[in-house]
Amino acid sequence: MNKQRVLISAFLCAFLALNPPITSFGEESDPSGAVRVEYDDLRTLLKEGNLTLKKTIADQEDTINAYQEMWDTMKWEQDNMEDKAEDLSNENGETSAVYSSNASMLKASASRIYNQIKNLTDEKSARTIEKSADSYTYTAQTLMNSYNQMAQNRYAAEKNVQALEASYQALVRKSTAGSATQAQVLSEKSSLDIARNSLESLREQERELRFRLLTMLGLEDREDVVIGAIPAPDMEAIAAIDFESDKQKAVGNDSNVQNERHTRAYSTADINRRFKQVGEAEGTAEASIQYAYQELESRVIQYQAALESYESALLIYQSLQRKQAAGLLSNTEYLCPQQWRLRVSEAAYAQKQAAKETASMNLVQAYESYCWEVKGVN
């Protein structure tokens, strides 16, 4: 029995190493009382709050406990039978033999149960649970990334609506004064209506993504729950990628490749068929990691271009701010890109900022996807 307890302890040690202790999500709240969802905490939050993932972990523990109870029962009965057989060995050999026979039978059954527990408590089994956590984490990362992109673009759309509203009101005043036509006013009103509809669409999508993310984490969609930002891309880590090495890892970790490699072959035809299937699975896995790497390279280029465009817009925007502070721009000129050279204003700057942040988050997502691909999560 001590040997079995050692196995249970070994499993718990392995599982805890893969699953660090979970702190209460409430402890992540900031001084203002808001509860924050941070990108780096998603895996922990999923294990704490996602009902399906929690059930997977609980089911594993319940199965181990059930087998443990069966093993304890049979070992107790085995020991009892062996004691009775020994006690009766000199008095009644026939009855003693019955006890011995039953003790042997119980011992064999207990051994089989022991092997089941051993299989359930090995490191491979613990990693099976981690594979589930990997998939949930990847999905949560994607949802959180999409939510932040919607939020950033919603903010830019709000600035655009504000700019168009200022421009529209200015045209209405000009029309009243006879310096703008009714056609110009109607055209600007149409642009404003389109911008408002676009803004409402972004707001709706932002709310939907927020709800889906918080539901996945097992959190209520309350006002005091704040979803944090996506971290900036790790350019050093991206530059340090060894694609050839990662390709070999990705192929080895791919579930289809593993299944084909471990398929039993009983004849020459089976061996040839398995060899062909393994080759196809490996080719598919290589193509998948190659695509992920190419996507990552493409996102790096897009991010660099968006960053340069943003930096140029920032310089122009700062220049506009200085001119407005000096009284050299009217409010309408300051807000409306159509009214000033290069059509740069707060709204245009916000759009460039949103484009830069979107490109940044797309790069983070591409890098995460590449890393998950290497780990065999696809």
Distance from the Cα of residue 289 to its chain's centroid: 18
The pLDDT score that the predictor gives to residue 329 is 62
Domain boundaries, the chain: 26-49+133-231, 233-378
Contact 30, 83 (CB under 8 A): no
Instruction: Write out the E strands in the chain.
Output: 35-37, 225-227
The pLDDT score that the predictor gives to residue 116 is 74
The pLDDT score that the predictor gives to residue 27 is 36
Distance CA 333, CA 337 (A): 7
- Return the structure tokens found at 27: 């402890």
Contacts of 258 (CB under 8 A, 6+ apart): 252
Distance CA 355, CA 267 (A): 59
**Terminal Cα distance for the chain, rounded:** 41
The pLDDT score that the predictor gives to residue 350 is 92
The pLDDT score that the predictor gives to residue 14 is 39
Residues of the chain with pLDDT under 70: 1-32, 122-126, 329-344
Distance CA 312, CA 321 (A): 14
Q: Centre a 10 Å sphere on the Cβ of residue 230 and count the other Cβ atoms it contains.
A: 23
Distance CA 281, CA 302 (A): 32
Distance CA 233, CA 239 (A): 11
The pLDDT score that the predictor gives to residue 102 is 80
The pLDDT score that the predictor gives to residue 321 is 78
**Exposure letters 179-199 (e unless 16+ CB within 10 A, then b):** ebeeeebeebeeebeebeeeb
Contacts of 175 (CB under 8 A, 6+ apart): 181, 182, 184, 185
3-state secondary structure of 29: strand
Contact 354, 156 (CB under 8 A): yes
